Amino acid sequence: MRVLVVGAGGVGDAVARIAARRGFFDLMVMADYDLARAEAAVAAAEAGGGAGRFVAARVDASDPASVTALALEHRVTHVLNAVDPRFVMSIFNGAFDAGADYLDMAMSLSRPHPEKPYTEVGVKLGDEQFAQAGRWEAAGRLALVGIGVEPGLSDVFARYAADHLFSEIEELGTRDGANLVVRDDNGTEIFAPSFSIWTTIEECLNPPVIFERDRGWFTTEPFSEPEVFDFPAGIGPVECVNVEHEEVLLMPRWVEAGRVTFKYGLGDEFIGVLKVLHALGLDATTPVRVKGVEVSPRDVVAAVLPDPATIGPRMTGKTCAGLYVTGTGKDGRPRRTYLYHVVDNEWSMAEFGAQCVVWQTAINPVVALELLASGEWSGTGIRGPEAFDAVPFLDLLAGAEPAGFGSAWGLEDR
Determine which helix (DSSP H) or strand (DSSP E) holds 372, and give its type and residue range: helix 356-374
Query: For 189-216, what is the mean pLDDT?
Result: 83
Q: What are the chain's domains?
A: 2-147+359-407 (3.40.50.720), 153-356 (3.30.360.10)
- As a whole number of Å, the end-to-end CA separation of the chain is 42
Query: For 26-33, what is the mean pLDDT?
Result: 98
Residues forming a β-bridge with 55: 29
Query: For 260-277, what is the mean pLDDT?
Result: 85
Nearest-angstrom CA–CA distance, 359 and 148: 10
**pLDDT(227) > 90:** yes
Query: For 386-392, what is the mean pLDDT?
Result: 98
Length of the chain: 414
Query: For 281-290, what is the mean pLDDT?
Result: 86
Q: What is the pLDDT of residue 407?
A: 97
**pLDDT(194) > 70:** no
Residues forming a β-bridge with 241: 264
Nearest-angstrom CA–CA distance, 148 and 362: 6
Q: What is the pLDDT of residue 71?
A: 98
Q: Is the peptide bond before 402 cis (omega within 30 degrees of 0)?
A: yes
Q: What is the pLDDT of residue 190?
A: 75
pLDDT tens for each residue of 152-186: 999 999 999 999 999 999 999 999 999 998 888 88
**Helix 390-398 crosses helix 153-160 at what angle (to 10 degrees)?**
120
Residue 241 CB: number of other CB atoms within 10 A? Answer: 20
**pLDDT(306) > 70:** yes
CB-facing half-sphere around the CA of 32: CA atoms within 13 A: 23
Return the biggest CA–CA distance within the chain. Answer: 68
Q: What is the pLDDT of residue 281?
A: 87
pLDDT tens for each residue of 351-383: 999 999 999 999 999 999 999 999 999 999 999
Determine which helix (DSSP H) or strand (DSSP E) holds 397, and give its type and residue range: helix 390-398
pLDDT-above-90 percentage for the chain: 79
**pLDDT(195) > 70:** no
- One-letter amino acid of 217: W
Mean per-residue pLDDT of the chain: 94
Nearest-angstrom CA–CA distance, 100 and 127: 21
Phi, psi of 125, rounded to the nearest 5 degrees: -50, 130
* pTM of the complete model beyond 0.85: yes
Q: For strands 227-231 and 236-242, give the pairing.
A: antiparallel
Phi, psi of 55, rounded to the nearest 5 degrees: -135, 140
Determine which helix (DSSP H) or strand (DSSP E) holds 391, and give its type and residue range: helix 390-398
Q: For strands 181-182 and 315-316, give the pairing.
A: antiparallel
Nearest-angstrom CA–CA distance, 106 and 145: 7
pLDDT-above-70 percentage for the chain: 99
Nearest-angstrom CA–CA distance, 80 and 147: 10
Nearest-angstrom CA–CA distance, 147 and 385: 6
Contacts of 230 (CB under 8 A, 6+ apart): 236, 237
Nearest-angstrom CA–CA distance, 396 and 376: 11
pLDDT tens for each residue of 43-96: 999 998 888 999 999 999 999 999 999 999 999 999 999 998 999 999 999 999
